[in-house]
Amino acid sequence: MKISKWHKAVVGLFSLLLVFSSTPAQAAVPQAPSFAKATLKVIVDNDFAVYLGNETNATRLFYQNDYVWMTQISNATTLDIYPQSGETYLYIAAMGGGGSETIGGNLNGIDIVSISGAQVASGRSPLGTGVVSGIYVTLQSYVANYNANSDVVWGPQNVTLAQIQAALTGATWSSATGGNTTSGVCCGSDATSAGLSGKGWLFPDSTMVVFRYPVSALSLPVNAGSRQVTVDWDAPAAGDAPTSYILQYKKTADADSAYTTFSTPSAGTTIDTVTGLTNGISYSFRVAGVNASGTGTYSVVRDATPLGPPPAPTALIATPLSSSAQIAFTDPISNGGATITNYEYSTNNGSSWQALSPTDITSPITLPGLTNGTTYAIKIRAVNSYGSGTASESVSVLAGLLSQITNLVVSNTPTKRLVTSLTVSLNVAGKATFLANGKRITGCIKVSSSGVSPNIVAACRWKPSVMGSNVISVQYVPTDNSYANGTFQSSALLVVPRTTKR
């Protein structure tokens, strides 16, 4: 039977398809890991705005609610709370439009009335146009065209970043983890149907008040602690599975080339804590999956700032003073995430500590109550609201003003039994005793100085009795007992024999 060209082509194509279908699929590197969404569910009767910032003020508008209070949660469920560089607090401006004003809700599943470290603006210095009312300072006067009866009631009242920053300049804060938090305070069935507790805060009619929450207390997927950050990621949702992960970090301010691998956990581990970080410095974190085909795409980058006591001051320089010492230093590289309020010092190499009183945060600082003539091993450490920071390296100081003896002048080559004048320069008046090879020189004991600063001297007429090497030393007692006693020792002087006879 004759086989056509067309038939041969079909047979060939079928054979080729068989070959391809029997070839195993090429493995691929893993897709990018992800981070769980940290949700915001807040109801405010009537309106609210959310910001992220630091201990001092808000720095970024995160969410401007434009919805009437009954639909606020359903319209905010797509929000994902994640801080950017240097953001350590989440701020909520709660606005009332008349009647019973309330706020309630959850941040990443945590009830706002029980978040550790939660605070409410309770004062302002200077008060300006703010009004103190109970536990609050009301701040709506800083919002241009604040319309309690219209825009606030129906949701579209906007509070710009500049307005909230002006309102919070000089704000003082009080705890917001207690108070009027009875169940049922906030929003009735609209709250409970959204999974909220119904607890909340009542605040004055037709006003704006501000709450803030440490992001470190919100259990975020990338969550900061003191000198560490816990990174909790999700495995890739699709694609070839990883057999391990790479967790990397860097200071946020550094280039991407600075990323350092902290750990390479196995595929069963999707959480790790990066340690050894500096409080108050923003860090960036990313994760990638790894399998036999290589390293996959890195996750989105998440930033976090460890918060806690400050790192150590550096470059201490001690200057003795009367009954005290002055310590100059370089400030810690960060404040730990909270304002430095004072310094503590140790005079015994860190065995015990005292706070400066009155407080002082500017170099140089003065350490009082020291004993003149006593040597101390000084360390200092900064203090913020989180506690006492890392201690500096030790620096030694001899307390009391130092008497200085310099520039021994010898009038002529020392010769046995001939007079040689010895003169030393001093920085303070007093009495000097001269010694040769450790023995007091006759007539040169407690010799009073002469002259005035900077030309104070003490002199001795020495008639050497021993030839050869002689070391001259001086013991000095200042008249002003604010100064410590001083000593001086020369290099060896060679006493030569007398060459002429009487």
Q: If you average pLDDT over residues 336-355, what whole number do you get?
A: 96
CA–CA distance, 110 with 91 (Å, rounded to integer) = 15
Task: Output phi, psi for 440, to 5 deg.
Answer: -60, 140
> Strands 271-275 and 294-295, how do they pair?
unpaired
The predicted pLDDT at position 439 comes to: 95
Q: Which residues contact 193 (CB under 8 A, 6 or more apart)?
A: none
Strands 483-484 and 401-402: parallel
Domains of the chain (ranges; CATH) run 40-217 (no CATH), 222-304 (2.60.40.10), 314-401 (2.60.40.10), 403-495 (2.60.40.10)
**Does the pLDDT at position 6 exceed 80?**
no
Sequence-ordered alpha helix ranges (H) in 84-187: 153-154, 161-168
Q: Confidence band (pLDDT; 50, 70, 90) for 149?
A: confident
Q: Quick one: pLDDT at residue 180?
A: 63
Tell me the per-residue pLDDT of 236-276, one tens digit each, with 9 for 90 and over: 988 899 999 999 999 999 999 999 999 999 999 999 999 99
Is the pLDDT assigned to residue 297 strictly greater than 60? Answer: yes
pLDDT confidence tier of residue 10, bands split at 50, 70 and 90: very low
pLDDT at 501 over 80: no
pLDDT at 480 over 60: yes
Burial class (CB in 10 A: 0-12, 13-18, 19+), 137: buried
Beta pairing partners, 185: none
Q: Which amino acid is at 328?
A: A
Q: Reduce the DSSP state of residue 164 to 3 states and report it.
A: helix
> Residue 188: pLDDT above 80?
no
Torsion over CA: 193, 194, 199, 201 (sign): negative
Tens of pLDDT along 396-455?
998 878 788 988 999 999 999 999 999 999 989 999 999 999 999 999 999 999 999 889
pLDDT of 189 over the 80 cut: no
With 60 as the cut, is the pLDDT of residue 473 above it?
yes
Nearest to 181 by CA among 242, 113, 239, 278: 113
pLDDT digits (tens, 9 = 90+) for 16-52: 444 444 445 567 999 999 999 998 988 898 899 999 9
Mean pLDDT of 139-165: 92
**Helix residue ranges per DSSP H, 349-478:** none
Contact by Cβ (8 Å): 215, 83: yes
DSSP category for residue 259:
-
**Mean pLDDT, the chain, integer:** 90
Q: Are strands 342-346 and 354-355 parallel, antiparallel or unpaired?
A: antiparallel
**Is residue 12 scored above 90 in pLDDT?**
no
Mean pLDDT of 110-125: 94
Please identify which residue in the block is written with the tokens 């013991």. Answer: 475
Token pair in block for residue 264:
């390479």
Predicted pLDDT at 20: 46
In contact, 33 and 299? CB cutoff 8 Å: yes
Integer CA distances (angstroms), 495 to 279, 368, 437, 489, in order:
65, 48, 12, 17
Confidence (pLDDT) at 27: 75
Beta bridge partners of 251: 283
Q: What is the predicted pLDDT for the residue at 4?
A: 58
Give the per-residue pLDDT at 183: 64
Lowest mean pLDDT among 148-152, 190-194, 216-220, 426-430: 190-194
The predicted model gives 343-349 an average pLDDT of 98
**Residue count of the chain:** 502
Q: What mean pLDDT do residues 330-339 have?
A: 95
Whether the predicted pLDDT of 181 surpasses 70: no
The pLDDT of residue 165 is above 80? yes
Strands in 368-438 per DSSP E: 375-384, 387-388, 395-398, 401-402, 405-410, 420-426, 430-436
Whether the pLDDT of residue 500 is over 70: the answer is no
Q: Is residue 7 pLDDT above 60, yes or no?
A: no
Residue 29's nearest CA partner among 341, 239, 244 is 239
